[in-house]
A and B are shown apart, each in its own frame.
Chain A
Amino acid sequence: MEQIYLDYAATTPVVPEVVDAVTDCLKKDFGNPSSMHRLGIQAEKRIKEARKQVSDLLRADPEEIIFTSGGTESNNMAILGTAHDKKRSGMHCITTAIEHPSVLNTFAHLEKQGYEVTYLPVDPNGIISLESFRNALREDTILVSIMHVNNEIGSVQPIGQIGSILNGLKFRPVFHVDGVQSFGKLPLYPEEWGIDLVSLSGHKIHAPKGIGALYRKRGVRLQPILFGGGQQGGIRSGTENITGIVGMGAGADWIAQKHRENSRYLYELKDKLVSGIRDAFPDAMINGDLENGAPHILNVGFPGLRGEILLHALEEKGVYVSTGSACSSREKKISHVLKALGLDDRTAEGSIRISLSYLTTPEEIEAFLPILTRSVKKIGMFIRR
């Protein structure tokens, strides 16, 4: 059975170019980058190259990249590191209701330590209002953390405008952006947009799991959350994961190349997908912002169905998607993102996320549509009475 993988927002396969880079590194560069001898210097060189590959995509300087274990660590480092550093200036932070759990739970931890956090609501498209953002700002606001692309619905936040608003402030809070989903798919230029910190993840850009990065604008202070040998400028101790780092660099290169070749590619695929779904199911709800949403994430609700059953039915046909609500006989677990959109339970429960990458082909979308149609119809025959 042929597989159609449409869950790239969950994770991506490592592409051959990255496998080669990683394998080469595993074979040759076992040195500890901190060693004073030649082998250490060679390893350090590989890291420098990877830093450049990643920073190029952000139009940043290589020195502004810190490698971490992944998006979760980057988010933790940015939020905790800023909050601890700025404690004397204030203890108020602003974020949104639809952030990734690695942001929301980090803020929940800070709240227990006495910090105050404002969670901005989103409109039905999944976007915050600049006005409510302005109103939330206070003199003691030390940190603003707003994701670029939402992982479940693909809505894109106006981070450039937020950056300009912040630039006009007398006491400027630190601006962190969770860029895990947008990196490599949408332009993301922190310097130009007034962003101080950006979280990135390797496995969303066809690099291995267990590697990520944090862009830190030159001069922005952070308290470390890991302590040790003082690697990476003391901000992230621990011997560098050099194979992961090389993989992330190669992944960034690969995705930049794809984006350069055809920056409309993902949009075209998504359009094809949306019109196919609309034709077959006039009742289907597109959750989130279809007009200005990210090109690779589509969240669709089939009211009355159970997303998880649909997921498994598609799985049976070799199609892999994901769902925002785990279905359980005992309790309903609807995703906080779909809830924040104000969706009714029936639509939220019947929602699936389809996500694409540069590996997705138009042929796959064409093959997927009839499978989706058949599965939805079949499941629709058996819904709880």
Chain B
Amino acid sequence: MERVILIRYGEIYLKGQNRPYFERMLLDNIKKALADIPGIRVSKSQGRFYAENYENETAVIRALTHVFGIVSVSPAYKVEKDFETLVRYSEKIMENLLSHLQGKDVLTFKVESRRADKNFPMDSLSICREMGGRLLDRFPDLKVDVHHPDVILNIEVREFGYLYHEVIPCAGGMPVGTNGKAALLLSGGIDSPVAGYMIAKRGVALTAVHFHSFPYTSDRSKEKVIDLCGLLTRYCGPIRLHVVPFTRIQQELYEKCPDNQLTVLMRRYMMKIAEAIARSEEAVALITGESIGQVASQTIESLAVTNDAVSMPVFRPLIGFDKVDIMNIAKNIGTYETSILPFEDCCTVFTPKHPVTHPKLDRILLSEKRINGEELMREAIENVEKIQIGKEEWK
């Protein structure tokens, strides 16, 4: 007998000819996610993966629930496939469940089985029937309920016998790295980590860009962004964070451009710099946490003007989300608590009291020419601080 974890993946089935590639990427990502578990082996067999040879099952499961591409996992007994052995371990599972009955006096159950090995003498129906009978004989507190059982005991007969009763849902999505790379504009607020999470879930590897306005924002706000990246790496794998010194551009805009346009102009420069960094990182799209109407710079007119600054596609996965919905995802993925740490930014200096909410592109373009944008952007990009978060560059 051995404890194993069955790992199921879903959507990558759809990928036809590419399926081996997707499976390889997923296996690779699983191995990376489990790199800290000593001795662990992960293998592929018949459309699923198995993780074996570990001590701390909880830690393995926790790591796996974060890997995009995995639909669910089940901790299982892997045993010799003869019926008596299967009975013995079924009893063991039931015994354990019965000992944890809280308040209830009976446990309802149902047996489901699958026989992939057609040489096994019993078909799946008779495995279920026989096993159900044996368990009822042994435990008087058990009752069969085929419609709404408390527990479903799964028995699979493959190259070995596998028994389990838990199916733990995982993150789903597609293996990170199977859909290229994109650059995430990461501010330190609630939205951008969620946006990054959502796009990474579609198999996209991330690189991150943060704009730092020292002394108007403190080094602590940079630390916060580093922490957020660290939280994202649990799902997205290693991330290279680019911290862009942005103060000079803000100061120039402040000195030379109309007050009410400052935010839109700043956003445009952020997008342009992010695009240049994305190119150098071989990323082909940008990701932002924008959502329509959330702030002045996110009216659709402002978004249109911002969008015009770049030619790369810009993914805005939160575009139609309400703030509460975004907050709920942030809580689920564990970035919320870090995001709401007090914003140590004094950027209000550069925040106009009455920003334009319906900017006109032609006027913004005229203002934009008032500063030496090319030179300032080059300077900013040259002085980018690159911080590698997570162990190595994701494939």
Are B218 and A382 touching (Cβ within 8 A)? no
B39 at the interface (CB under 8 A from A): no
Contact bitstring B334-369, A, C-beta under 8 A = 1, else 0 = 000000001111111111110000000000000000
Partner of B346, one of A309, A315, A385: A309
B215 at the interface (CB under 8 A from A): yes
Interface residues on A, range: 20 to 34
Bound-state CA distance A381–B347 (Å) is 14
| A330-B343 in contact given A312-B218, A316-B214, A316-B215 (Cβ < 8 Å) | yes
Contact bitstring A297-335, B, C-beta under 8 A = 1, else 0 = 000000000101111110110000000001111100000
B112 at the interface (CB under 8 A from A): no
Closest residue of B by beta carbon distance from A383:
B349
Q: Given contacts A330-B343, A384-B349, list 8 more A-B pairs with CB under 8 A.
A: A308-B346, A309-B216, A309-B346, A312-B214, A312-B215, A329-B346, A383-B349, A385-B353
When distances are taken between beta carbons in the complex, the residues of chain A under 8 Å from B352 are: 385
Bound-state CA distance A385–B344 (Å) is 20
5 tightest CB-CB pairs across the interface, nearest first?
A: A312-B215, A313-B215, A327-B346, A309-B346, A329-B348
Chain B positions near chain A (C-beta within 8 angstroms):
214-219, 251, 254-255, 259, 342-353
Which A residues from 359 to 385 make CB contacts under 8 A with B? 379, 381-385
When distances are taken between beta carbons in the complex, the residues of chain B under 8 Å from A309 are: 215-216, 346, 349
When distances are taken between beta carbons in the complex, the residues of chain B under 8 Å from A316 are: 214-215
Are A382 and B251 touching (Cβ within 8 A)? yes
Chain A positions near chain B (C-beta within 8 angstroms):
306, 308-313, 315-316, 326-330, 379, 381-385
Are B254 and A382 touching (Cβ within 8 A)? yes
Closest residue of B by beta carbon distance from A312:
B215
> Most chain-B CB neighbours within 10 Å: which of A309, A330, A379, A381?
A309
Q: List 13 A-B contacts (CB under 8 A).
A: A306-B346, A312-B214, A312-B217, A315-B215, A316-B214, A327-B344, A329-B343, A329-B345, A329-B346, A329-B347, A330-B343, A384-B348, A384-B349
**A293 smallest CB distance to B (angstroms):** 28
**A304 smallest CB distance to B (angstroms):** 11
**A162 smallest CB distance to B (angstroms):** 37
**A324 smallest CB distance to B (angstroms):** 15
> Most chain-B CB neighbours within 10 Å: which of A308, A327, A382?
A327
When distances are taken between beta carbons in the complex, the residues of chain A under 8 Å from B351 are: 329, 384
When distances are taken between beta carbons in the complex, the residues of chain B under 8 Å from A311 are: 215
Are A328 and B343 touching (Cβ within 8 A)? yes
When distances are taken between beta carbons in the complex, the residues of chain A under 8 Å from B348 are: 329, 384
| A328-B342 in contact given A308-B218, A316-B214 (Cβ < 8 Å) | yes
Are A382 and B349 touching (Cβ within 8 A)? yes
When distances are taken between beta carbons in the complex, the residues of chain B under 8 Å from A310 are: 215
When distances are taken between beta carbons in the complex, the residues of chain B under 8 Å from A382 are: 251, 254, 349-350
Closest residue of A by beta carbon distance from B220:
A312
Bound-state CA distance A245–B344 (Å) is 36
